[in-house]
A = this chain, B = another copy of it.
């Protein structure tokens, strides 16, 4: 009998939870959250980014002022040691998740890829 997909998915979940990448990410979040001014700055940054992403998705215009505000915010958080470490941790975790997804989705990629080339 084939291995149960859900059983091995739970093993991936556990491996992520115990990985250095995830533990580092959680520690960085805890550090940012423990610092009220860092937390507020990071939340502002996230909200601005989310707002711009939503406008882009909806095909709405983004003003020059909004672009400048976002750029200033990026510069600000990059200079903040704790936040920039959190952002690096997020990026590493995100790259790992992308890799894991590529591996897991290979059967479907192959199926759809083979269709397109016919």
Query: Could you tell me which A residues sit within 8 Å of B by CB distance?
Result: 2-20, 22, 25-26, 29, 33, 57-60, 93, 96-97, 99-100, 103-108, 111, 115, 118
Contacts and interface: CB of A to CB of B under 8 A. Distances in A.
A13 B115 contact: no
A105 to B, nearest CB: 8
A117 B114 CA distance: 44
Interface SS of chain A? helix
Give the number of times this chain occurs in the complex, counting copies: 2
A97 B108 contact: yes
A106 B25 CA distance: 14
The 5 A-B residue pairs with the shortest CB-CB distance in the complex, in nearest-first order: A59-B59, A2-B18, A9-B103, A3-B15, A5-B15
